[in-house]
């Protein structure tokens, strides 16, 4: 059954509603998914995080919030994004492969879904200022975009090294009116920018909201971000129904940095145990090369950026500097939902090296005429590692487009 009608009236409201048992989808009231999660925060931030925890569900359920969120997703972001049957890629792998086209969102990736949700929420909390941290600049650009749209002041912390490496995104943020603050401490990358953003928040707790860009951070951030991103799987369900006759695929695959596109792509399938959830981490130069970001393979339980999860660390608990060719996957931790999916066996965790990701990106260009983000290319690379039946229905989350990665791709041409 094939039906090309786009259901533009389908709204993502269901995801914003409270309820449900703690399990794969919902954390318990302390923010735990199994052994992972919680809120490990300095005393000074207690009031802010507590205010957010007390109000986020109530605000997300307000009809006026849902109306504004859904309208912006439709008219500004361009949702629903297509679920595209990749015919030539399917022939290559002898199965049915569908791409969820988050690359077609405004600003080029899934991150805008969450940025819109959090800025609208911050306004309802009465916050006048927005801060964020960014590594590659993608989350910074998404946040600066929404702040421009809403006329809100925006400060983005970014490591000095990243500012040098990511000049186009720095220019974008500035053009969008954001202030980019260099983080000069430590390794001058993402983790230092995060520390600076947290310091800013501690000093300005009353009027500032900190927009975290993935399903990481203290409770309620992982749950809140997962709910904003869950529109991805909510659309996938009805799109699959239209195109295949069934709402359920056999597999959903997504790359995992902190894990927000994967959380969104998995969300409405988490408790559908027939659906295999495949998370793909960045192996960098190889899982055991010392230059990797494959957190579930290398990490141990620990606390990073406000929650307990799996963290790449030395024997005495120092965070290990990760490596991936894709800046979005270059993170030494993973969100607590994913740590639980790994720990419980509900999720299948694979990894792809830098080289494998680049090859997969070139293959998608050649077979489908789509240049994927390097992050998304990791999910594509893992297709090779899977054993599919011809009748399987495999959804791959194409989290972003590859324009930002042309410089890297050119080195391989």
Residues that bind ligand PLP (CB under 6 A): 109, 111, 138, 214, 255-261, 328-329, 373, 375-376, 399-400
CA 347, 350, 351: angle at the middle one, nearest 5?
145
Question: What is d(CA 238, CA 79) in angstroms, rounded to the nearest whole number?
Answer: 13
Closest to ligand PLP by CB, 89 vs 398, is: 398
- For 21-70, give the secondary structure using H, E and C: CECCCECCCCCEECCEECCCCCHHHHHHHHHHHHHHHHHHHCHHHHHHHH
Residue 376 near residue 108 (C-beta atoms within 8 A): no
**Could you tell me the smallest distance in angstroms from the CB atom of residue 193 to ligand PLP?**
14
Would residue 399 show up in a list of annotated catalytic residues for this protein?
Answer: yes
Query: Of 90, 368, 399, 404, which residue is the catalytic one?
Result: 399
Closest to ligand PLP by CB, 201 vs 331, is: 331
Residue 175 near residue 144 (C-beta atoms within 8 A): no
Tokens describing residue 263: 């959380």
By beta carbon distance, the residue nearest ligand PLP is 400
Nearest to 258 by CA among 309, 333, 321: 333
Provide the sign of the torsion angle of the four alpha carbons 11, 12, 18, 22, taken in this order. Answer: positive
Question: What is d(CA 274, CA 351) in angstroms, rounded to the nearest whole number?
Answer: 22
CA 381, 194, 212: angle at the middle one, nearest 5?
70
Residue 86 near residue 98 (C-beta atoms within 8 A): yes
Question: What is d(CA 73, CA 71) in angstroms, rounded to the nearest whole number?
Answer: 5
Residue 133 near residue 157 (C-beta atoms within 8 A): yes
Provide the sign of the torsion angle of the four alpha carbons 188, 190, 193, 195, taken in this order. Answer: negative
Tokens describing residue 219: 């409770």
Instruction: List, as one string, the DSSP characters of 112-160.
Output: HHHHHHHHHHHHHTT--EEEEEESSSHHHHHHHHHHHHHT-EEEEEEEH
**Could you tell me the smallest distance in angstroms from the CB atom of residue 32 to ligand PLP?**
20
**Could you tell me the smallest distance in angstroms from the CB atom of residue 64 to ligand PLP?**
28
**Could you tell me the smallest distance in angstroms from the CB atom of residue 357 to ligand PLP?**
11
Query: Of 96, 100, 111, 127, which residue is the catalytic one?
Result: 111
**Could you tell me the smallest distance in angstroms from the CB atom of residue 114 to ligand PLP?**
9
Closest to ligand PLP by CB, 96 vs 180, is: 180
**Could you tell me the smallest distance in angstroms from the CB atom of residue 311 to ligand PLP?**
15
Query: Of 133, 281, 368, 375, which residue is the catalytic one?
Result: 133
Closest to ligand PLP by CB, 147 vs 293, is: 293
Question: What residues are paired with 156 via a beta bridge?
Answer: 132, 180
Would residue 133 show up in a list of annotated catalytic residues for this protein?
Answer: yes
Closest to ligand PLP by CB, 52 vs 329, is: 329
Closest to ligand PLP by CB, 66 vs 113, is: 113
Closest to ligand PLP by CB, 259 vs 306, is: 259
**Could you tell me the smallest distance in angstroms from the CB atom of residue 333 to ligand PLP?**
11
The CA radius of gyration of the chain, in Å to the nearest whole number, is 20
Give the residue numbers annotated as catalytic, written as ranges.
111, 133, 399
């Amino acid at each position: 059954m094939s039906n090309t009608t786009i259901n533009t009236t389908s709204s993502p409201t269901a995801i914003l509603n409270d309820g449900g048992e703690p399990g794969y989808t919902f954390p318990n009231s302390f923010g735990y998914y199994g052994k992972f999660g919680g809120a490990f925060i300095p005393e000074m931030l207690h009031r802010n995080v507590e205010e957010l925890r007390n109000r986020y569900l109530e605000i997300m359920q307000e009809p006026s919030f849902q109306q504004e969120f859904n309208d912006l997703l439709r008219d500004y972001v361009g949702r629903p994004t297509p679920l595209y049957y990749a015919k030539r890629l399917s022939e290559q792998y002898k199965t049915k492969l569908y791409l969820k086209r988050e690359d077609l969102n405004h600003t080029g990736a899934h991150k805008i879904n969450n940025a819109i949700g959090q800025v609208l929420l911050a306004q309802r909390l009465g916050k006048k200022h927005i801060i964020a941290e960014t590594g590659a600049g993608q989350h910074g650009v998404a946040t600066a975009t929404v702040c421009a749209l809403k006329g809100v002041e925006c400060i983005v912390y970014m490591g000095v090294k990243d500012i040098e490496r990511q000049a186009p995104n720095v220019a974008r943020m500035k053009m969008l009116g954001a202030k980019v603050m260099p983080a000069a401490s430590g390794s001058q990358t993402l983790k230092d920018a995060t520390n600076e953003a947290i310091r800013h928040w501690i000093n300005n707790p009353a009027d500032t909201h900190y927009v975290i860009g993935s399903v990481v951070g203290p409770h309620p951030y992982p749950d809140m971000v997962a709910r904003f991103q869950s529109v991805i799987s909510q659309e996938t369900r009805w799109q699959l129904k239209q195109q295949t006759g069934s709402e359920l695929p056999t597999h959903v695959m997504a790359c995992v940095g902190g894990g927000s596109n994967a959380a969104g792509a998995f969300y409405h399938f988490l408790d559908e145990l027939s659906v295999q959830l495949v998370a793909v981490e960045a192996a960098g130069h190889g899982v055991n090369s010392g230059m990797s970001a494959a957190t579930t393979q290398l990490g141990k339980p620990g606390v990073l950026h406000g929650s307990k999860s799996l963290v790449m660390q030395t024997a005495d608990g120092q965070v290990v500097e990760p490596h991936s060719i894709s800046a979005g996957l270059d993170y030494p931790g993973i969100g607590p939902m994913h740590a639980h999916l790994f720990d419980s066996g509900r999720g299948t965790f694979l990894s792809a090296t830098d080289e494998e990701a680049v090859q997969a990106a070139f293959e998608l260009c050649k077979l489908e005429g789509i240049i994927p983000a390097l992050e998304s290319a990791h999910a594509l690379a893992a297709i090779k590692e899977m054993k599919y039946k011809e009748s399987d229905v495999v959804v791959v989350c194409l989290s972003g487009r590859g324009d930002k990665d042309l410089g890297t791709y050119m080195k391989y041409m």
